[in-house]
Amino acid sequence: MKDFIFDVSTRILFGRDQMKNLASEIKKYGSRVLLSYGGGSIKRSGLYDEIIKILEENNIFYKELSGIEPNPRVESAREGVKIIRENDLDFILAVGGGSVIDLSKLVAGAVYLDCDPWDIVIKKAKIERALPIGTILTLSATGSEMDRGGVITNPETTQKLGFGSEYTLPKFSILNPELTYTVNAKHTAAGIADIMSHTMENYFTLGDGAYMQNRLAEGILKTCIHYGPIAMKEPENYEARANIMWASSWAINGLLSTGKATGWSVHAMEHELSAFYDITHGIGLAILTPRFLNHILNDDTVDMIRDFGINVFGIKASEDKFNDAKKAIAQLHIFFEDDMNIPMTLGEVGIDDKKLEAMAEAAARHAGGSIRGVVELKKEDVLEIYKASL
């Protein structure tokens, strides 16, 4: 196991009855709030009214940044920075899914820099300090509620890129599973696929001796496989929504990657699908993952993939370990397709073969020439994986 520092100080307020703590949590950090949210789901659910009431009752000044898009655009960050500067705000309350939280992190850092927010994403500028952020999570998926990173889209350059800073880790996150009851089937499934993908990106590594981390990863995967279908059938099943929500935070907050060299290969390939076609992140991951595993199956990786099948899906070990590994990959595909109702080809989400070459080139370029995960993926490998997913 490699050396590591693990430091995730986000205070988690989990459960049905945590809004009573919202005002006191905010007041630890500020008194003039930017309330950021998406396209209106929080208004339909009544959450917006509840928050406004709390802010007003507690004399907390606020301004709003609304309409943050899924696959959030850098333009919204520019707007957020402007609102903060004009109103001298000192805290960001991000209410929504990963898109709202990610965008808010960029705003929090950009406000202290004399540059365009996009410069941070393309690493021309570095976040040195940030406004404190609190989140109220409404969709279990990205883990942005308990990690440092964000992913931002620039439609002008057809790029979707990640950024991160120690300063953008949320100070607190309110996780009420009931707030996810209204998430529709498509985004519930996409969220579960995203949680599983984060877990697998951390899990599929070789020779690092991180035994404990891998058993924890298997536990998170089993949690998703057990509760995912329940949440799909019974959107208001608290136990299912609660387990999935807690899994989302721990899949990507750094615990599973401690002591490991992880490559995030599938995410690198998916971000190009989202950048070029604006598809839902988790759906893209579900489509690519079984094809990625098939592509990297070789003498070095066969035991790793077979163990995944045995420990996560309960596949019975046979003499033929390649066959066992293939069974594991097939089980994952079937889970996404049958239990999660995810369209499992690129064609079904409106992607044909026209831009595969350009996306493969961009995926390799953005990773610095090739994607260096458990198996190195050159542009040609990415292209093959895209083609196998058509």
Pairing type for strands 172-175 and 133-137 reads parallel
The answer to whether 141 and 195 have CB atoms below 8 angstroms apart is yes
Total residues contacting Zn ion (rule CB under 5 A)? 1
Taking the C-alpha atoms of residue 177 and residue 241, their distance in angstroms, rounded to an integer, is: 5
Member of 143, 170, 254, 373 binding ligand NZQ (CB under 6 A): 143
Q: Report the residue number, 210 or 285, with the smaller CB distance to ligand NZQ.
A: 285
- Within 225-254, the residues that bind ligand NZQ by CB under 6 A are 252
Nearer to ligand NZQ, 147 or 324 (CB): 147
CA distance 289 to 291: 5
Is 302 within 8 Å of 321 (Cβ atoms)? yes
Which of residues 154, 182, 262, 301 is near ligand NZQ by CB under 6 A? Answer: 182
Angle at 97 between CA 96 and CA 102, to 5 degrees: 100
What character string, x for contact with ligand NZQ (CB under 6 A) and - otherwise, covers 75-114?
A: ---------------------xxxxx-x------------
> Is 194 one of the binding residues for Zn ion (CB under 5 A)?
yes
287 lines the binding site for ligand NZQ (CB under 6 A) = no
| Non-local CB neighbours of 366 within 8 Å, separated by 6+ positions | 159, 161, 268, 271, 272
Instruction: Return the number of the residue (12 or 302) whose C-beta is nearest ligand NZQ.
Output: 12
CB of 73 to ligand NZQ, least distance (A): 10
Query: Coil, strand, or helix at residue 377?
Result: strand
Closer to Zn ion by Cβ: residue 252 or 312: 252
User: What span, in angstroms and rounded, lies between the C-alpha atoms of 280 and 273?
Assistant: 9
Does 272 sit near ligand NZQ (CB under 6 A)? no
CB of 211 to ligand NZQ, least distance (A): 25
- Minimum distance from residue 160 beta carbon to ligand NZQ (Å): 7
* Closest separation in Å from C-beta 95 to ligand NZQ: 8
* Residue 290 touches which member of Zn ion, ligand NZQ, none, C-beta under 5-8 Å by kind: none
| C-alpha neighbours within 13 Å on the C-beta side of residue 119 | 13
Phi, psi (5° rounding) for residue 348?
Answer: -70, -20
Closest listed residue to residue 150, CA positions, set 259, 290, 317, 36: 36
Place of tokens 């929090």: 108
C-beta closer to ligand NZQ: residue 147 or 307: 147
C-alpha span between 269 and 359 (Å, rounded): 8
Q: Name the burial class of residue 324, with classes exposed (0-12), middle (13-18) and buried (19+) by CB atoms within 10 angstroms of its CB.
A: buried
Q: How far is the CB of 144 from ligand NZQ (least distance, A)?
A: 3
| Binding-site ranges for Zn ion (CB under 5 A) | 194
| Binding-site ranges for ligand NZQ (CB under 6 A) | 38-42, 45, 70-71, 96-100, 102, 138-139, 141-144, 147, 149-151, 179-180, 182-183, 187, 191, 194, 252, 267, 281-282
